[in-house]
Amino acid sequence: MYSHKYSLSTIPSKWLSKATLLTLFVTGITACVPDPKQPDVVVVPTPQATVTVTATPQVTATVVVTPTPQVTTIVQTEPITDVLVITNANKQTLVNRPVQFTNVNVQSVVGDRAFWIGSSNTQRVFVVLAPKLDAGTAENKVVVKQGQTLDLAGVLKAVPSVKQAQQQWKGLTATEAQGLSNQVIYLEANQIKFKST
């Protein structure tokens, strides 16, 4: 009997590659056959959350915060009780401040509702009676006279233009109205009490 031993060197290379592929194929199929003792477990890697940070040029923005519209509330402050506080202060800062004077002197009367109070021509405040104090019949109207001593309460207001002042306060001359423009503020009196005549 004739026998021939083959060595790897004598096997044609095309057979070697086919044999290798066949071995790999069979091994792969065997690996795919499930083992009845082991349950099928599939391990799926969980996706990792990735954050990509890209550098962008910085933009500087001005943020303007505007409050929602609100009802204006007047903060209650102590009333001004001395004429000198008004004449010596920055008058624009006193607009809407309450006033309560006791025993003030009427220097002069310049209209049916308007007059000056104080101790001198440099220490004085212009006063206008609120319309409610001058309403009604002649007997009910408040009549202020020079030389009277009064208690007054009211609110400081900004002086209107010369033309508006003459329209609002009857009896006020153009010269008197012009003089008021330097005063900046006036007292609108809503309470008055006569002390003496």
Residue 57 lies in a domain: no
Residue 192 lies in a domain: yes
Residue 129 lies in a domain: yes
At residue 19, the pLDDT reads: 64
Residue 39 lies in a domain: no
CA dihedral 150, 155, 159, 163 (to 10 degrees): -80
Distance separating alpha carbons of residues 12 and 16, to the nearest angstrom: 7
Find the domain containing 156 and state its range. 83-196
- Dihedral sign for Cα 176, 191, 86, 146, please: positive
Residue 67 lies in a domain: no
Residue 159 lies in a domain: yes
> How many domains does the structure of the chain reveal?
1
Residue 132 lies in a domain: yes
Give the CATH number for residue 163: 2.40.50.140
Residue pLDDT, tens place only, 138-197: 546 788 999 999 999 999 999 999 889 888 888 788 888 888 878 899 999 999 999 855
